[in-house]
Structure 1
Amino acid sequence: MRRPLQLGLLLLAGGVGYVALTGPERLPFGGPWSQTRTAPAGEAQAPTPDAAPTPFGEVTDAALQRLVAREPISLQALRAREYPGSALRVVRTLAPGVNYTRQVVSYASDGLTIYALLTVPGGTPPPGGWPAIVFNHGYIPPGEYRTTERYVAYQDAFARAGFVTLKSDYRGHGDSQGTAGGGYNDPGYTVDVLNAAASLKRDPRVNSRRLGLWGHSMGGQLSLRAMLVDRDLKAASLWAGVVASYDVLATDWGRAPGQEKPVLDPLNRRYLRALSPNAALDDLNGRPLQLHHGTADEDVPYSFQRALADDLRASGQSVEAYRYEGDDHNLSGNLGLALRRSVAFFQKHL
């Protein structure tokens, strides 16, 4: 799953400047990043308008956090927003699954109409309603995306097991309104995921205290960030997730053989780390994550899962991490096993 992507991140070297970076899916931090300069010794910069100039490299944590909070993609900015969602409106009823219904629905997000694929178990809901999973797909070219295509077997496994699932298209995908801005520096997809969760909470068939997330590739990044924004999301299963810290993505993701590796100065590395969901894992407060990754993944390296699992354990969080030797980005060789593990995980935690 490769994709063209435009990624802009705030770099601090030489003052605050916005650098737009372009490249294919595996090179979202490519382009001119390596041109980042190191400020000369003694050069001063003011990280915030109300702060005294601070020598480069000696910015306080508080000043750094104020800079991070200005970024719309930051957890601070996302937590300051509201996610009301809306009632799920049925657009089209599809052929049912084995023991569940399938419908194309729409919901409201940021004033936009977003389409999604909804599955609901047949029969009478249990007391309190069905458990539900917000299903977050990986990158598919937005112009090629169709609500009813891709991830059919994945969604089917959870639907058969008695979970409501809602796979959001995200803005700019298929018939959904809005602009597809990417999943890493633009908050739009994360906002759509959070409003999808809010819309499920409104549904009387759903138990709002039993909500989880499933995410693949880019959807793994969206799921991790959404879980750190909305504390009602109880558990997440991430497959081949782009879950490394932004400083690692900036330097270590998708470098072609022989291509020079960009170098970040210490301040920019601190800044990108602070901007990443990985810097706030304490805020999970014990809510569990499950990780799946193939060692032969050519799109998202297995090292991303290993680094996140290490960070989660260091933070005292609950994590299951599964390594699939020689498997690819879609876990094609172990799909049934990985799905059974994910279903069992949600049966335990939702």
Structure 2
Amino acid sequence: MRTRRTGTAAVTAVAGLTAGLLLGACSTTGPTDDRGAGTPGPRPTAYASTSASPTKTTPPPTTSTPAPSETKPAPDPASVAALIATRYNAGTLRLGRERGSTSAYRQYFVTYESNGLRISGRINIPRGNGPFPAVVLAHGYVDPAVYTNGETMLRERDRLARQGYVTLHIDYRNHAQSDKDPRNDANLRAGYTVDAINAGLALKKAGYVDPDRVALVGRSMGGGVVYNVLVVRPGLFRAAVAYAPVSSDTVDNFDKWVRRDTSRAGAARALMGRLGTPEANPAAWAATSPRTYFARITEPLLIHHGTADEDCPIAWSRESVAALRAQGKSVELDVYPGGRHTLTSPQWDTSIRRTEAFLAKHLN
């Protein structure tokens, strides 16, 4: 569990632990995913990192009727408890039209079922004989109104597929050809976590994937999805990597990208109408935060973050690392001096080599 800096910088001591919450939302100055070789897309108009759309909680026993005093209210659908209680139902991966293939891999449009919703994405399958290790890629924020199928994380998908990994880039609900979930925003987009978990389950059913060697990689908003998945379904993935992740404290993200954004006033009112304000009801907001549940994590985690990140302050990752280490978890933070939200070469090249080494260590 070390913190590294690129170049000759020394090991950085990580200190400070703040009370917690993730699942943000984003305004016209929120974090965007990279599109191809590090060129950011249009600035987002709304961001968050989770929504429990068709989430189905475990029904109570039907053999007896509990006394009123024994009846517990269902957890709020934006909470981590609701995600933990969800029954995950993943369909099989269905390959569509082949496009963008190379001599190293075949690339297909792909869909799978995620708790009743059809989710689209892109998949790269290495040429040769499987089964192969695999990676689910959880992308960062791009306005769903302009997002197109598989348009982000192109560098990671190509590089890892050339290294022999099946790479499944998911579009999330409400994106590209995925089905719609009208409750998504009001539930802090917990549905993205549902879709990432079901992507992992769907990959494990594919005959060309080694089900014991599946990892999760996310960036920006997708880094928040990584935090959520690790606390909700420990053991599903063997390892995880987060690039420039949002805060693991929901209030950080809510305050930065939703609360003060007039275009998100309706979503802010709806959330605070249910949960109260973060100041008045911190416990309800803590219940939406993966940091509150870090003790559940069992997988090693690698985080990449630049010191000049204009969207997600590196302090957020340092606080998350401190919280993870306080729970005795295996976590590494690689710091990139001067690195922006989307790393460019040569720093990105360094980061992907470190990612490859990390995955090789924990998936083999």
Deviations 1:10-69 (A, max 9, x none): xxxxxxxxxxx9844639799xxxxxxxxxxxxxxxxxxx78xxxxxxxxxxxxxx77x6
Equivalent residue of 1:343, what SS?
Answer: helix
Partner of 2:247: 243
Q: Which amino acid aligns with 1:239?
A: Y
2:221 to 218, 223, 240: 218
- Matched ranges for 1:35-114 at <5 A: 70-114=75-119
| Structure 1 stretches lacking a partner, 5+ long | 1-20, 31-49, 52-65, 257-262
Q: Could you tell me how far apart the structure 2 residues matched to 1:291 and 1:178 are?
A: 31
Structure 2 spans left out of the alignment, 5+ residues: 1-24, 31-44, 49-67, 261-276
* TM-score, length-scaled by structure 1: 0.75
**Residue number in structure 2 paired with 1:157:** 159
Sequence identity (%): 34
Match of 2:148 among 122, 138, 146: 146
Structure 1 residues 154-163 or 76-85, which shifts more?
76-85
Give the Å deviation of 1:120: 1.1
Which of residues 283, 296, 308 in structure 2 aligns to 1:270?
283
RMSD over equivalenced CA pairs, Å: 2.9
Structure 1 residues 137 and 326: CA distance shift in structure 2, 3 A? same
SS at match of 1:275: coil
The CA deviation string for residues 248-284 of structure 1, in whole angstroms up to 9 with x for no partner, is 334567999xxxxxx953x623332232011111111
Q: SS of the residue aligned with 2:214?
A: strand
- Distance, in Å, in 2 between the alignment partners of 1:72 and 1:102 is 35
The answer (yes or no) to whether the contact 2:304–2:334 under 8 Å persists in 1 is yes
- Name the aligned partner's letter for residue 332 of structure 2: E
2:290 paired with 1:288: no
Q: Which moved more, 1:131-140 or 1:222-231?
A: 222-231
CA radius of gyration, larger in: 1
User: Counterpart of 2:158 in structure 1: which amino acid?
Assistant: D
**Distance apart, 1:75 and its partner CA:** 2.5
State the partner residue of 1:116.
121
Per residue, is there more strand in 1 or in 2?
1
Q: Following the alignment from structure 2 to structure 1, what is the Cα–Cα distance between the partners of residues 159 and 236?
A: 23
SS in 1 for 2:296: helix
Identify which of 187, 190, 195 aligns with 1:192.
Answer: 195
Equivalent pair of 1:183/1:190 in contact (CA under 8 Å)? no
Across the two proteins, how many residue pairs are aligned to each other? 288
Change (3 A) 1:96 1:251: closer
Q: CA deviation at 1:206?
A: 1.0
State the distance in 2 between where 1:279 and 1:236 align: 19
| Alignment correspondent of 2:133 | 131
How far off is 1:317 after superposition?
A: 0.3
How far is 1:244 from its partner? 2.7
1:74, distance to aligned residue in structure 2 (A): 2.1
Match in the other structure for 2:17: none
TM-score, normalised with respect to structure 2:
0.72
Partner of 2:319: 307
AA matched with 2:316: F
Partners of 1:329 and 1:97 in 2: CA distance = 29
Deviations along 1:93-114, whole A, 9 cap, x unmatched? 0132341111111111232221
Matched AA of 1:213:
L
Shift of the 99–28 alpha-carbon distance from structure 1 to 2, 3 Å rule, reads: closer
Larger RCO (alpha carbons 8 Å, 6+ apart): 2
